[in-house]
Structure 1
Amino acid sequence: MTDLERKIYRIIYNMSRFRKNPTMDDLKRKTGKGEPAIRKAVKNLISRKELAWDKKKREWLF
């Protein structure tokens, strides 16, 4: 897991604990990275099954 992936994972985990899904703007502000880099990191986390999105509940699964 890269530093950016670890940082995004922790942001999503911590924000979802309080029932708030981070927006792209939240992730941009907190990581200091652009949208393409964030999308790539999230896709990598999903492909390695470290993150999953539940469409019915609209929340992240860890």
Structure 2
Amino acid sequence: MSDLERKIFRIIYNMSRFRKNPTIDDLKRKTGKDEKTVRQAVKNLLSKEELIWDQEKREWKFI
């Protein structure tokens, strides 16, 4: 897991603990990266199954 992926994972984890799903704008602001870079990092986390999006409950699952 890269530093950016680890940072995004922690942001999503910490925000979801309080029942708030972070938006792309939240992730951009907190990481200082552009949208394309943030989206790619989230896709990498999803493809590695570090994160799983539960569509029914509309929340993140963590492995």
Q: Percent identity?
A: 76
The CA distance in 2 between the partners of 1:55 and 1:32, in whole Å, is 28
Q: CA RMSD in A?
A: 0.4
Provide TM-score, normalisation by structure 2: 0.96
Provide TM-score, normalisation by structure 1: 0.98
Alpha-carbon shift at residue 39 of structure 1 (Å):
0.6
User: Post-superposition, which runs of at least 4 consecutive aligned residues in structure 1 deviate over 3 A?
Assistant: none
Q: Which has the higher contact order (CA 8 A, sep 6+)?
A: 1
Report the count of equivalent residues: 62
1:9 is matched with 9
